[in-house]
Structure 1
Amino acid sequence: MNDATAHLKAEAWTSETRRLLAKALGEFAHERLLEPEEAEWGYLVQGRRLTWTFSARRLPLDHWDVDPESVTCLLDEEPQPLEAGVFFADFAEALGMSDEVLQVYLEEVAATVNRGVWQRSRRQPTAAELARADFQTVEAAMTAGHPCFVAGSGRIGWSVEDYAAYAPEAGEAVPLVWVALDRTHALFSSTEGTQEETIADLAAGDWPWLRERLAALRLSLEDVVVLPVHPWQWRHKIATGFAAEIAFGRVRYLGEGTAEHQAQQSIRTFFNRSKPTAPYVKTAMSVLNMGFMRGLSTDYMAVTPAINDFVAELVHSDDTLRKTGVRVLREHSAAGYWHPVYTEVAPKGSPYRKFLAALWRESPVEQTSEGEQLATMASLLHVDGEGNSLAAEHIRRSGQAPGEWLRSYLDAYLVPLLHCLYKYGLCFMPHGENVILVLDEGRVDRVFMKDIGEEIGFLNGVTALPEDVGRTAHEVDDWEVPLTILTDVVDCFLRFLSAILDREDVLSAEAFWTVVGDVVRDYQAAHPELEERFERWDLLTETFRLSCLNRLQLRDNTSMVDLENQSDSLQYAGELDNPLVSRSGAGRS
């Protein structure tokens, strides 16, 4: 067996530690957990025992663009080795971490640094190469993770061998394990028809083999529900925690399928490499990653297809949205198993109710034309080993002026989000991993939205919902509604894209935010019928509340928020100046 730790060299570890500490200093300053003091050489923050210094550019939205090479650690003015664990131990009290949270967080931080070292130990595509690369090459090349979360790749529960086999950045072919479930405790839900009618398409590449396995066991799809399982989940959770179900034949192991799948950035979702037009498969995977155990709820699966169909019909039938080209990737089929004991004793939302479930999501490949390029929106924040950004490469390739390119991107991405919110009260979780771009020679033509069943919400009764979509209804205060754009889009994504383009002298931060503000104002001007909602849910207010993601993870890194009531779980730290509004005081016009 190859040495799975061969990449761990001191120089590489220190280099990746610098990147993580730069992110930590920047984001913790942004969230007002740390208050850097100006110094002759830049900035400093004083820990319990050590002094940490760095240089940074200050940009709109109180963004700290920290230079990783500038980060130093001093004890009595003497330089010390840079160690991420030492940093978090030094600031544990300032960051509000309990002893229990700190221990887990240190493991998550070590895993996050390790991810970076491992990935950079392999030859990585340049930004210029990625600008012309295929969908899955881009997916596997992402290095940064979520732009806000510092400990973003914990994946607690994986061994080093699991990492090499299943990490998205490994880009390996993964066969899925298939099981047959007794219908007494199983669920199959689909808007595509019955299981018998749809399973051949859902199991693309595995269907001939699966049909043979069922025949060998004298089973048919009238007897059982068949379900794909992540190989890790089978070995570590199902084969042990469901041992009684296996012993009595209620869960039957069918074996590993023959189709090749590739893990996506969300780690538990797979792209079908054997048949790219086939549906994605999202599986349960009970590893702790970025604040949650990444299981999948059978309870949720029952109405997931109905929710997706309702959202897709609404989006695809709206004239304004049709003009943008936006499409919803439907999660049209789902399956799961209610363990008879765990389901009885585990409270709602418990990881023990999320061990064995899966869903199937439409592939964007079947909805694109020859010559069009697919890429995760997260790739717009990707910077290669030479410091060149993929966003800048796309701009150069497009032949558009930077502001014109940005406008095309925002017309494709931001305008649909604005219209869904103000017309229907519909909000998405539109971060980089949840949006897929369709590019034409570097220009963003349109986008796909995904992760619908668990992430969308209909706010404050704007849209009447059928009963099976009712769980997506939420009542929130009016001031919270615009944060679905101002926090999730402006602060948690565009803030970073602006900093990258400004750093490379492609587009200044001032020019960037002028374009974004113009897109909002132009959309509002085009829809006077929604004027009352524009005033009620004001995107062009002078300031807005700063919602802090790292504070959530630092408070509780095993269950960051209550998924049943996310609004009450959020943490705020003062106000941010709104970059969509000029400081002269001009707001909505």
Structure 2
Amino acid sequence: MQPQHLAYSKKAEKRVKRQLVEAMIFEGIIKYKETETADSYSIFYLFGENRTYRCEGRRTAFDRIRIKEASIFKECQDHSLVEATIEELAGELIRDGEHKLRLINELSQTIKLCSWNELHLPQPASRRKSAYEELESEIMEGHPYHPCFKSRTGFTIEDHKKYGPEAKQAFHLKWIAVRRSLIQTAICGDEQDFFKEELGSFMWEELLKQLESMGGTFDHYTFLPVHPWQWETMKPELVKYMKTRHILPLDVSGDPYRATQSVRTLWNAAYPEKAYMKFSMNMVNTSSLRKLASHSICAAPHISSWIQKVIQKDPYLQKEASLVILQEYAGMIFEAEEEKLDGQLGVIWRESIRAYIQDGEEAVPFTALMMIEKDGNLFIDDWLKNYGSDNWLKQFIKVSVLPVWHLLAAHGIAVEAHAQNMVLLHKNGWPTRVILRDFHESVEYTEGFLADASLVPSFEEIHERYKDAPEDDYYWMSSVEALRELIMDTLFVFHLSELSFLMEEHYGYKEKHFWNKVGKLIEEHIERFPDLITRQQEFPYKKAEIYVESLLKKKVKNKEEGNFRHLVRNVFCHIQQEEEK
């Protein structure tokens, strides 16, 4: 599966193959048999259409599968073992030729971009002292579970060098004027004041001057920033709108921006305290096409305001936890009748973490906590040694897990707390607070479980898409179980399970001790607030098996939406059973 015209990394291929096999077994996408060995590992036999594969690995918390990279083989007719290829494994998942090729191309693109990074972007000796913004580029590893963790469909190597976060290149946004009849805005207050505040008087005047020179006025047009890669990608589809003057391309540069880990969210390289900007990008990365929906852009400021009001009314969240959310306070999107343009030109403004960091505090993305440095130790190695694994972990859980759990138990609000949506604030490695972000598509609630339904935005008044919409399509769920699933999926199964696994691998800190500490601190927290004891019983998080999302199966089935989930053994149940013996 060697990418053409590019130095090829066997290391990257082995990692992609390993994560592919781990996901295949974990999600039960292929039939398999597990045979335990004497050293706590297992031999996994995977039964394909015409051949059998085998590999060695073990189950960890929440049934997560951890495979040894060098152990993935196919059995030949003479019973010899030959290294399995990615194409062969992908062929066991998908029969349709075009669909299979699409998956193989995404896996190949991931290998290609990782290979380029290895060759051209050597890692610093240590990332432990890097500033937060630099870490957004230096954390090159990508998603630790999904095999298409750097697929970025449509990106060439040149695009990757210019717009990928890893290369640390600054670039300018493309600004266009859009006729108001074709744009939705979600801006609180006066629109002119908003642009002046965001852009500064000089750039605002330049935009107005160019618009007027082209025969337009601000009464009939407004200004929309677009990611430059997206503009070049979508420009052929927009020619007719430029010919009819519904779109007027402008020649104003503004501040330089750099990409964060998510690629489409950018930070202001000249003024880091200014807003992050999240853009539509017509690319698939991991499981999703990275567009922005009109209705979610319109809802974003209302959702941020809602959560902020909840925090302000809760003494624990506001004072003790000092929970911070980065509010998505404005958004705009181009709307056209063509389906292929739906969600393709949109932007959300989000607060910068620099507005919240206090003296003595530093910030690290949660993704950094699971990274291994060149010295072979974890990014957090010094912190664990300085404070002791038990003490540090206890404080870490108090700071990061309990506020998210409290939002659900006390208020009935579930947030998508995966690693890219969380930032840890600390003082010399000692956790102090957590920052949550990215709410416009990833907040859920059940009406009957809300503590204060009067604070919930009137979604049906925000966008027509929400009018008479059924449960489970947007933010309102049909059961509290859906809220439990979102929290445990994102925070535990696909997030902190990486840290628990690495702490056992590197320090001998047993996963059962890790999750026992999480469970006990949750219970102690709930006991502090007697009203929450009954509420927590409505989402029993200790049952023997729980549903989790099937991330790879969604891609295999070639669907953006759907109820892709599977059952796994719940680590909290097994810990309790062991204690009761």
Report the TM-score when normalising by structure 2.
0.88
Shift of 1:443: 2.2
Superposed counterparts of 1:121-520, under 5 Å: 121-125=119-123, 129-191=126-188, 193-203=189-199, 208-218=202-212, 221-237=218-234, 239-255=235-251, 257-322=253-318, 323-339=320-336, 341-342=337-338, 346=339, 352-384=341-373, 387-396=376-385, 399-461=386-448, 462=450, 463-464=452-453, 465-468=456-459, 473-505=475-507, 507-520=509-522
**Matched letter for residue 349 of structure 2:** W
- The alignment yields a C-alpha RMSD, in angstroms, of 2.6
Shift of 1:100: 4.1
Q: Residues of 1 paired with 2:271 and 2:4: CA distance? A: 34
In structure 2, relative to structure 1, the CA distance for the partners of 1:506 and 1:280 (3 Å cut) is: farther
Structure 2 residue matching 1:308: 3-state secondary structure: helix
**Matched letter for residue 492 of structure 1:** F
Residue 167 of structure 1 contacts residue 267 of structure 1 at CA under 8 Å; is this kept in 2?
yes
- Candidates 18, 25, 28, aligned match of 2:24: 28
Structure 2 residue matching 1:129: 3-state secondary structure: coil
Most deviating of 174-183 and 480-489: 480-489
Structure 1 residue matching 2:537: 3-state secondary structure: helix
User: Which residue of the partner structure matches residue 470 of structure 2?
Assistant: none
Residue 287 of structure 2 contacts residue 551 of structure 2 at CA under 8 Å; is this kept in 1?
no
Structure 2 residue matching 1:536: 3-state secondary structure: coil
1:353-403 Cα shifts (integer Å, max 9, x gaps):
21222111000112112442222112222234564322334423xx21112
In structure 2, relative to structure 1, the CA distance for the partners of 1:117 and 1:328 (3 Å cut) is: same
Residue 428 of structure 1 contacts residue 457 of structure 1 at CA under 8 Å; is this kept in 2?
yes
Structure 1 residue matching 2:135: 3-state secondary structure: helix
In structure 2, relative to structure 1, the CA distance for the partners of 1:163 and 1:83 (3 Å cut) is: farther
Structure 2 residue matching 1:390: 3-state secondary structure: coil
Residue 264 of structure 2 contacts residue 279 of structure 2 at CA under 8 Å; is this kept in 1?
yes
**Matched letter for residue 176 of structure 1:** L
**Matched letter for residue 510 of structure 2:** S
In structure 2, relative to structure 1, the CA distance for the partners of 1:380 and 1:7 (3 Å cut) is: farther
**Matched letter for residue 8 of structure 1:** A
Shift of 1:260: 1.5
Superposed counterparts of 1:11-26, under 5 Å: 12=9, 14-26=10-22
The sequence identity of aligned pairs, in percent, is 19
User: Which residue of the partner structure matches residue 564 of structure 1?
Assistant: none
1:110 partnered with 2:103:
no
Shift of 1:36: 4.5
Structure 2 residue matching 1:55: 3-state secondary structure: strand
In structure 2, relative to structure 1, the CA distance for the partners of 1:437 and 1:183 (3 Å cut) is: same
Residue 301 of structure 2 contacts residue 330 of structure 2 at CA under 8 Å; is this kept in 1?
yes
Q: Residues of 1 paired with 2:197 and 2:508: CA distance? A: 45
Shift of 1:24: 2.1
Gaps of 5+ in 2: 467-473
Residue 261 of structure 1 contacts residue 270 of structure 1 at CA under 8 Å; is this kept in 2?
yes
Shift of 1:459: 2.0
Superposed counterparts of 1:56-95, under 5 Å: 56-75=57-76, 76-78=78-80, 80=82, 83-89=85-91, 91-92=92-93
Residue 542 of structure 1 contacts residue 585 of structure 1 at CA under 8 Å; is this kept in 2?
no
Shift of 1:28: 2.2
Structure 2 residue matching 1:427: 3-state secondary structure: strand
**Matched letter for residue 431 of structure 1:** H
**Matched letter for residue 381 of structure 1:** M
In structure 2, relative to structure 1, the CA distance for the partners of 1:575 and 1:19 (3 Å cut) is: closer
Shift of 1:426: 0.6
Q: Residues of 2 paired with 1:487 and 1:246: CA distance? A: 44
Shift of 1:289: 2.4
User: Which residue of the partner structure matches residue 522 of structure 1?
Assistant: 524
Structure 2 residue matching 1:132: 3-state secondary structure: coil
Shift of 1:413: 1.5
Structure 2 residue matching 1:374: 3-state secondary structure: strand
Most deviating of 461-470 and 320-329: 461-470
Report the TM-score when normalising by structure 1.
0.87
Structure 1 residue matching 2:270: 3-state secondary structure: coil
Q: Residues of 1 paired with 2:268 and 2:197: CA distance? A: 12
Shift of 1:428: 0.8
Gaps of 5+ in 1: 562-568
Residue 140 of structure 1 contacts residue 170 of structure 1 at CA under 8 Å; is this kept in 2?
yes
Structure 2 residue matching 1:148: 3-state secondary structure: coil
**Matched letter for residue 418 of structure 1:** W
User: Which residue of the partner structure matches residue 571 of structure 1?
Assistant: 564
Aligned residues: 553
Q: Residues of 2 paired with 1:293 and 1:473: CA distance? A: 19
Structure 2 residue matching 1:145: 3-state secondary structure: coil
Q: Residues of 2 paired with 1:442 and 1:136: CA distance? A: 17
Shift of 1:65: 2.1
In structure 2, relative to structure 1, the CA distance for the partners of 1:194 and 1:532 (3 Å cut) is: same
1:212-264 Cα shifts (integer Å, max 9, x gaps):
24214425644421111011111111x22121221122211112524121111
Residue 97 of structure 1 contacts residue 554 of structure 1 at CA under 8 Å; is this kept in 2?
no
**Matched letter for residue 432 of structure 1:** A
Q: Residues of 1 paired with 2:553 and 2:436: CA distance? A: 27
Shift of 1:580: 5.8
Shift of 1:139: 1.0
Shift of 1:269: 0.9
In structure 2, relative to structure 1, the CA distance for the partners of 1:535 and 1:300 (3 Å cut) is: closer
Residue 195 of structure 2 contacts residue 204 of structure 2 at CA under 8 Å; is this kept in 1?
no
Shift of 1:575: 3.8
Q: Residues of 1 paired with 2:7 and 2:271: CA distance? A: 36
1:45-84 Cα shifts (integer Å, max 9, x gaps):
3444555443324323222222223434553455545532
Structure 2 residue matching 1:161: 3-state secondary structure: helix
Q: Residues of 1 paired with 2:36 and 2:97: CA distance? A: 32
Shift of 1:285: 1.0
In structure 2, relative to structure 1, the CA distance for the partners of 1:226 and 1:484 (3 Å cut) is: same
Most deviating of 522-531 and 271-280: 522-531
1:441-481 Cα shifts (integer Å, max 9, x gaps):
12221111111122112223314124148856413234333
Most deviating of 96-105 and 496-505: 96-105
Structure 2 residue matching 1:262: 3-state secondary structure: strand
1:507-545 Cα shifts (integer Å, max 9, x gaps):
221211111111211111112112221112112223323
**Matched letter for residue 447 of structure 2:** N
**Matched letter for residue 280 of structure 1:** Y
